[in-house]
Amino acid sequence: MRRIAAAALMAAAALAQVTWAPHFEVGGAFPNLVLLGVVGVTWTRGQRYGMAWACVGGLLLDLTASGPVGPHAIALLVGAYVIGFWTRDLQRPTAVHVVLTAVVGTILYSAVLVLSDGLLGLPVPQPGTAVWLAFTAAAYNALLMPFALDVIRRLQALTRSATEAT
């Protein structure tokens, strides 16, 4: 039940990201809802779950993109892997840590996506533009991460209580 609910939530995040999230563009960047979900799952469930959902979310994004399957999944996996190590070694995580992991995850995601697109011969933005977009997206995601983590925790508690009730 929990996996079905999580998969439905990830699919909804991917669909929202490619349909309505671009309408909330600020400085050329818009929220990366799948990345926020992956960071939140990594915080709440650990590195293994974060990486599993990075694959699912990345493949969903790849299937909605015009390019090959794989770049979004790899980019999200890198972020989940690094964030998993970060969260595992913290004694007392704070909201600042949560925000910083969103920043680092976004920058890693952007860098890997631009690098993989370049290696695959797909169009990539100029370096200055890529850096601007990565940092703008990092700031955007950093602002949204505390809210996203709260939503993820609430949904996990809801599915946990529904599972225990059955």
The residues facing 26 across adjacent strands are 29
pLDDT digits (tens, 9 = 90+) for 108-122: 999 999 999 999 999
Provide the pLDDT for residue 24: 93
Provide the pLDDT for residue 166: 62
Record the pTM: 0.92
| Amino acid found at 164 | E
Provide the pLDDT for residue 163: 66
125 φ, ψ to 5°? -70, 160
- pLDDT lower than 50: segments of the chain: none
Residue 80's contacts (CB-CB under 8 Å, 6 or more residues apart) are 38, 39, 42, 47, 50, 51, 53, 54, 105
Q: Rg (Cα) of the chain, in Å, rounded?
A: 15
Structure tokens at 133: 């977009």
Domains of the chain, first to last? 2-21+31-159 (1.10.1760.20)
| Amino acid found at 126 | Q
